[in-house]
Amino acid sequence: MKPAPFALHLPGTVPQALQLLAGQPNARVIAGGQSLMPMLNMRLAMPDHLIDLNGVQGLAGIREDGGDIVLGAMTRQREIEFSDLVADKLPVMREAILNVGHRQTRNRGTIGGSLCHMDPSAELPTICALMDARMVIESARGRREVPAAEFAEGFMSTCIQPEELLTEVRIRPWAPGHGWRFLEFARRHGDFAVVSAAALVERGADGAIARAALVLGGVDAAPVRLPAAEALLAGSRGEDAALREAAELAGAGEALDDPAYPSWYRQRLARKLMYRAIAGALERCGAQPGRA
Amino acid sequence: MQEAGSATLHKIVLHVNGQPREAEVESRTTLADCLRGGLGLTGTHLGCEHGVCGACTVLVDGHSARSCLMLARQAERYPIDTVEGLARDGLLNDLQQAFRELHGLQCGFCTPGILMTLTELLRDQPKADEAAVRDALSGHLCRCTGYQNIVAAALAALRRQRGEA
Amino acid sequence: MTQLPPASGLPQIGRRQPRIEDPRLLAGQGRYVSDVEPPGALHAAFVRSPHAHAAILSIDASRAREVPGVAAVLTAADLAARMPTLRMPLGFPTKALPPDITPYVLAPEEVCFVGEAVALVLATSRYAAEDGAAEVDVDYDPLPALSDCRQALDPDSPRVRREAPDNVLTRFEVEYGDCGQAFAGAAHVFKESLHQHRGGAHPMEGRGVVAEFDELRDTLTVWSSTQMAHELQFTLAEMLDIAETRVRVLAPDVGGGFGAKFLVYPEEIAVAAAALFLRKPVKWIEDRAEHFVSAIQERDQYWDVEIAVDGEARVLGIRGRMIHDQGAYTPQGINCPYNAATGVTGPYIVPAYRLEAYVAQTNKVYTIPVRGAGYPEGAFVMERLLDRVAAELGLDRAEVRLRNLVTPAKMPYVKPLKNRAGKPITLDSGDYPASQATVLQAIGYAGFAQRKAQARSEGRYIGIGLAHAVKGTGRGPFESGCVKISSTGRVSVATGAMAMGQGMHTAMAQIAAGELGVPVESVQVISGDTSFISMGIGGFASRQTVTAGSSVLLAARQVAGKARKVGAYLLQAGEDEVELRDGRVQVRGQPGRAMSFAQIARTLRGIPGYDLPPGAGAGLEATVYWEPDAMAYANACHACEVEVDVDTGGVSLLRYVAMQDCGTLINPLIVEGQIHGGIVHGIGNALFEYMRYDEYGQPLSTTFADYLLPTSTEIPPLELIFAHSPSATNPLGVKGVGEVGTIPVTSAIASAIDDALSDFGVRVQAIPVDPVRLAQQLEESRRKAA
């Protein structure tokens, strides 16, 4: 399993990388390589040009900027795992990242790489959808911001054009004291999720749920937000009946079907996992999910 | 620079086990193949070439990583450590000794990759317990040992490092 | 953790000796076949069929030959011009099978499974060889493919190979006693339909061959990651029409076998042929993608069986039908289905038995035994039936087993079944009821009901299961052991036994060192090299410690005896006055009166014109080919606790207790490792390993992301207990350990899952257990209850 031939370019800056992207036909960028290299080794991807982002200055790092947490696209998953800023401000992302692959893949894998690969089961795209992240995409012609809801375009594809580069992911953290929970069903520790579910909740001063965000991974080509279920929860006090109804809605959407995991099974997982996700988030919110 | 087909070879210098090592590679040559072929360091093994089995694990800039998922030319900027660098003056180090004493290997094919991951663990998580050891090992497949003695050897090495031998 | 075995009286036996193999391997100085590279070697890549079944209309390699780095492209036509036949010989030859069933070195006219090799590309690197392979243009005419082995029984099903008159390769019956009567008079009869799915062996090191014809030495040297060096040598000689004396096979360090390397493969012959014909070294290293499609697999098996019991749950008879998926070709007989068919009754008394077995061909890669070799399949059937009896009659599962186990009082227990050598299966030793009692005690079986109720009150579903197993080990016809002391006093052991990670060198070194009174580390063990010993059978079926161990023991004893005799002669002492000590023969109590092994060896080398000492014979060496008369039966009893997540169908293992009786243990350290590995292999078969194909014979599980092997986080601590009933069938009293740890695992886990889901009446009828299927069964149960 050896890659087909390609030319390898090693730019040092973002403008150099963008120039290469614009100038080379059939070119791809390589970030951590944890998703792309297997495809190259199996000759499922055969670019003529590979642009290595690992030496590009200024693409990695986690910082605060005007109320956002900004993660450079080349930020290693390992850095996210050990970041105090992420643990503090984006705790659901930290919980999710512990499920991403293994130590060895997190040491090299990047958030940008995971997002651009857009595997239906991947945890980081799911979290970005949950948190309405904004993707900053640059090209030689300029820069644009795309909200997470518009980022994925289909099975393992995004809106990024051939001459464009994802440079940053911007996330507005939820207020301190919010509840959060990510969980997934995978066959083994570190495997891609068959289905994942994540929830963020915020209680108002009156104890009612003021805000909720719910997402499913692995049920469709891209992560699926659940606006109806979110609205339902946001009008409730988090009683068990509301959780069950929200979970039913989660399991009611269409789901991917494949020989290993048929759609009814993914729907079942969606229902069961979403219930647990909401319950877990509410617990962290300092309130008990209501029981009949 | 444009390349025609696979013909172009690049001269690179990798820093492996503290030594600069010269090699000539194609752009598509993986780090694993460069280590094993050009540099004659055959201790790093290839089990799957798609990043799951962990047999090819080395330390890249001190962190465990799959050498089958890196290109040799990408590796020039980092210090690389392989299994050949563990023994000192022909003597097995404490981790390797623990494997010997506790029968932590059978066919030995997955072992070098595991030794590199455990080297990282010993350095970064000196208080690791069994759960942490199994978590670190979960990125490695072993068909022979059932992992039990590997875990035992890792815990013994951790204890020895903490002076609790 | 290991109880000390009863003193066997043999020095070095029973010692937890750190392995002599380890220092090199730990330092990264192992030498596996992919580390072997003769100068100027060409690298090989095979062009493999993407179709499960197709006719080959033409092969055009002209573009491939133009690819930079490509040196040659060989097809079946090229090889046929220079080889007596392209058809591989049948391993384990038997007249009981039809002709023309073995694979081709390269497929000449028809491809019959995805992955079948049709051309060989040779280039300056594997990278270039794969570039070349991508450019070989094969014109295929797709033909209908058969994917489900059950359909093979339909006479109208599309022929798996055009030459095959029938998709059923063969049908055989295993029968004894009177099932008709047993079933007619039974108090209860229960039926089960069970499916045991296809899986692969997947050693971490794949296959590989390096071949070089050396003009200077007039020798074809073939390095292969193989479990059968001598068989490979014979086959090369036959297929390449070259004298055996001009073929040397070397197995370097082998990174695991598990049955995947216990076969002479077409690729080995193709690569050697290329080296011979092109007069250049050729190196082929299998990648994982190739292992998925072209290395052997094991199973599917579909069993429809019924069990007849009396009112006390004593088995009166078992009968049924089994369909085994052989794949598109038959390279090596039908041991696996035969073992499964004869292995069902295991350690139990079954007065009447009748199994009709169909060996069915499909358009998939061929199957031969993987670790366990059909016995896990047989055990699964028996254990599921016994669990069913217990459930239906409201009896405890352990009790049902006790009522039917062969007891020590009945041993040696001769079963009316014959093994492959035609000898009756004889359970020679072991206390199965005691094994069970020990295991149940260790896992706290008696208190489990309470633990289960407690978990239930917390909304958790846990269950306990158990299973028994026996394994005939030490399969013959022989294994070779040559013990030699050189003129420099060095002790070496050469054997036809094969090393693949199981510590065989250390075990043989211990045996020889014990007899000769030298340090274990001083013994050099040579295996897998046909130039050091002329015959050998190889590593499979848990046989080498028994057979090679016995040969090495007897050979070492002969050498020790010679050393004593000649040493005494040279020292002018009585034979009973001398002892072997630290590499010398010494008069007891008189260290000054001693002769080194080196001196004795030099004496026995002979000096021209001088006689050898009387009655000694030349050389301080001996070769023994010990032949077992009967198999040594190891036994096991396993119990485990599982938890089932009824929402997801996910299963986790909470506890695993495994009791083995492997007789005398040469090296308990190694034995424990073998049992650990065997159990985890069984866990893979029980919960994870599903080699998926679609209905057109296309493999869908082709990477380690799809085909799941257990990792460290899925395995609970394995609690091992050993009993030691030495076997009288061999001079060491040992029993093989490589597979007995695997055999009961699927059964024990299935039993535990049934117990965890007892509220729902869900029964495991297929393995690997799949969360989707469990969820489906739970859903069906919920609907029935509603």
Question: A8–B73: do the CB atoms touch at under 8 Å?
Answer: yes
Question: C288–B47: do the CB atoms touch at under 8 Å?
Answer: yes
Question: C711–B105: do the CB atoms touch at under 8 Å?
Answer: no
In this complex, the residue of C706, C713, C771 whose CB is nearest that of residue A189 is: C713
Q: Look up residue C260 and give its amino acid.
A: A
Mean pLDDT, residues C28-32 taken together:
97
Between residues B8 and C419, which one has the greater pLDDT?
B8
Question: A188–C288: do the CB atoms touch at under 8 Å?
Answer: no
Question: C714–A188: do the CB atoms touch at under 8 Å?
Answer: yes
B-chain CB neighbours of A7 within 8 Å are 1-3, 8, 27
pLDDT value of residue A291: 28
A-chain CB neighbours of C690 within 8 Å are 260
The answer to whether domain A62-171 and domain A179-284 are alike in fold is no
Closest residue in B to C705 (Cα–Cα)? B52
Between residues C325 and C726, which one has the greater pLDDT?
C325
Q: Looking at the domain assignment, is residue C523 inside a domain? A: yes
Domain ranges, ordered by start, for chain B: 10-85, 94-161
Closest residue in B to A43 (Cα–Cα)? B50
- Bond from prior residue into A91 cis (ω within 30 degrees of 0): no
CA distance A205 to chain B (A): 40
Q: Mark whether C567 and C649 lie in a shared domain.
A: no
Mutation target vs C (from A265, A267, A274; most C CBs, 10 A cutoff): A265
Q: Token pair for residue C401?
A: 């087993």
C424-455 pLDDT, tens digit per residue, is 889 988 899 999 999 999 999 999 999 999 99
In this complex, the residue of C25, C32, C680 whose CB is nearest that of residue B105 is: C25
Range of the domain at C547: 22-30+476-626
Mean pLDDT, residues C247-253 taken together:
97
B110 interfacial to chain C (CB closer than 8 Å): yes
- Gap between the Cα atoms of B130 and B152, Å rounded: 8
Task: With a cut of 70, say whether residue B5 has pLDDT above it.
Answer: no
A-chain CB neighbours of C706 within 8 Å are 260
Residue A115's Cβ-count burial label (10 Å; 0-12, 13-18, 19+) is: buried
Task: With a cut of 50, say whether residue C251 has pLDDT above it.
Answer: yes
CA distance B62 to chain A (A): 10
Mutation target vs B (from A102, A119, A189, A192; most B CBs, 10 A cutoff): A102
B48 interfacial to chain C (CB closer than 8 Å): yes
Q: Mark whether C591 and C668 lie in a shared domain.
A: no
Question: B108–C30: do the CB atoms touch at under 8 Å?
Answer: yes
C737 interfacial to chain B (CB closer than 8 Å): no
Q: Which of A75, A108, A67 is nearest to A93 (CA)?
A: A75
Last-in-domain residue among C608, C626, C644: C626
For A29, A39, A40, A154, B28, the CA distances from A47, given in Å and listed in that order, are 10, 11, 8, 21, 11
Last-in-domain residue among C582, C604, C626: C626
Architecture of domain A7-52: 2-Layer Sandwich (3.30)
C58-98 pLDDT, tens digit per residue, is 999 999 999 999 999 999 999 999 999 999 999 988 888 99
In this complex, the residue of A7, A38, A190 whose CB is nearest that of residue B69 is: A38
Closest residue in B to C500 (Cα–Cα)? B107
Mean pLDDT, residues C492-506 taken together:
93
Question: B86–C27: do the CB atoms touch at under 8 Å?
Answer: yes
Q: Are C174 and C417 in contact (CB under 8 A)?
A: yes
- Gap between the Cα atoms of C205 and C225, Å rounded: 9
Just give the CATH number of A62-171: 3.30.465.10
Indicate the CATH number of A179-284 among 3.40.50.2300, 3.30.2310.20, 3.30.390.50, 3.40.50.1100.
Answer: 3.30.390.50
Dihedral sign from CA coordinates of C641, C652, C299, C90: negative
pLDDT value of residue C86: 98
Interface A–B counts its CB contacts (< 8 A) at: 100
- B94-161, what's its fold? DNA polymerase; domain 1 (1.10.150)
DSSP-derived letter for residue B84 is G
B105 interfacial to chain C (CB closer than 8 Å): yes
Q: Mark whether C532 and C462 lie in a shared domain.
A: no
In this complex, the residue of A1, A43, A268 whose CB is nearest that of residue C775 is: A268
In this complex, the residue of C206, C677, C704 whose CB is nearest that of residue B106 is: C677
Q: What is the ipTM of this complex?
A: 0.97
Question: B41–C718: do the CB atoms touch at under 8 Å?
Answer: no
Mutation target vs B (from A104, A105, A114, A117; most B CBs, 10 A cutoff): A104
pLDDT value of residue C202: 98
Question: B145–C677: do the CB atoms touch at under 8 Å?
Answer: yes
- Gap between the Cα atoms of C602 and C612, Å rounded: 11
Scanning C752-781 for CB atoms below 8 A from A yields 771-772, 775-776, 779
B-chain CB neighbours of C502 within 8 Å are 106
Find the radius of gyration of the CA atoms of chain A.
Answer: 19
Residue A48's Cβ-count burial label (10 Å; 0-12, 13-18, 19+) is: middle
- How many distinct structural domains can be found in chain C? 2
Domain ranges, ordered by start, for chain A: 7-52, 62-171, 179-284
pLDDT band at A286 (very low <50, low <70, confident <90, very high): low
Task: With a cut of 90, say whether residue C725 has pLDDT above it.
Answer: no
Between residues B47 and C497, which one has the greater pLDDT?
B47
B-chain CB neighbours of A44 within 8 Å are none
Closest residue in B to C718 (Cα–Cα)? B148
In this complex, the residue of A38, A192, A259 whose CB is nearest that of residue C700 is: A259
Q: Count helices and strands (H / E) in chain A.
A: 12, 14
Q: Mark whether C612 and C500 lie in a shared domain.
A: yes
Between residues C417 and C700, which one has the greater pLDDT?
C700
Q: Which of C18, C202, C203 is nearest to B149 (CA)?
A: C18
Q: Mark whether C643 and C614 lie in a shared domain.
A: no
Question: B53–C288: do the CB atoms touch at under 8 Å?
Answer: yes
Full strand arrangement of the beta sheet holding C188-196: C168-176, C353-361, C315-327, C301-309, C188-196, C766-767
Mean pLDDT, residues B110-119 taken together:
98
Q: Mark whether C587 and C657 lie in a shared domain.
A: no
Task: With a cut of 50, say whether residue A288 has pLDDT above it.
Answer: no
Question: A7–B60: do the CB atoms touch at under 8 Å?
Answer: no
Question: C713–A1: do the CB atoms touch at under 8 Å?
Answer: no
B-chain CB neighbours of A3 within 8 Å are 28, 30
Runs of H (alpha helix) within C445-589: 448-457, 504-516, 544-571
Dihedral sign from CA coordinates of C28, C30, C32, C34: positive
C82 interfacial to chain B (CB closer than 8 Å): no
Q: Mark whether C744 and C678 lie in a shared domain.
A: yes
DSSP β-ladder status, C42-48 and C282-285: parallel
Question: A272–C648: do the CB atoms touch at under 8 Å?
Answer: yes
Between residues C423 and A264, which one has the greater pLDDT?
A264
Q: Are C224 and C251 in contact (CB under 8 A)?
A: yes
Compute, in degrees rounded to 10, the torsion defined by CA atoms C685, C266, C285, C737.
Answer: 40
pLDDT value of residue C9: 57
Write the CATH number for C662: 3.30.365.10
Question: B27–A101: do the CB atoms touch at under 8 Å?
Answer: no
B132-160 pLDDT, tens digit per residue, is 999 999 999 999 999 999 999 999 999 99
pLDDT value of residue C272: 98
Q: Mark whether C493 and C580 lie in a shared domain.
A: yes
CA distance B163 to chain C (A): 23
A2-42 pLDDT, tens digit per residue, is 999 999 999 999 999 999 999 999 999 999 999 999 999 99
Query: Percent of chain A, pLDDT > 90?
Result: 96
C-chain CB neighbours of B143 within 8 Å are 202-204, 256, 258, 677, 681, 709
Query: Percent of chain C, pLDDT > 90?
Result: 85
B-chain CB neighbours of A78 within 8 Å are 63
B67 interfacial to chain C (CB closer than 8 Å): no
Q: Looking at the domain assignment, is residue C303 inside a domain? A: no
Chains with 3 or more CB pairs closer than 8 angstroms to B? Answer: A, C
Q: Look up residue C441 and give its amino acid.
A: Q
Closest residue in A to B133 (Cα–Cα)? A103
C378-393 pLDDT, tens digit per residue, is 999 999 999 999 999 9
B-chain CB neighbours of C501 within 8 Å are 106-109, 144
A210-259 pLDDT, tens digit per residue, is 999 999 999 999 999 999 999 999 989 999 999 999 999 999 999 999 99
pLDDT value of residue A97: 97
Closest residue in A to B54 (Cα–Cα)? A104
Q: What is the mean pLDDT of chain B?
A: 95
Question: A5–B139: do the CB atoms touch at under 8 Å?
Answer: no
- B10-85, what's its fold? Ubiquitin-like (UB roll) (3.10.20)
Interface B–C counts its CB contacts (< 8 A) at: 178
Mutation target vs C (from B119, B135, B143, B145; most C CBs, 10 A cutoff): B143
Last-in-domain residue among C606, C626, C646: C626
C705 interfacial to chain B (CB closer than 8 Å): yes
Q: Are C500 and C257 in contact (CB under 8 A)?
A: yes
Q: Mark whether C574 and C523 lie in a shared domain.
A: yes
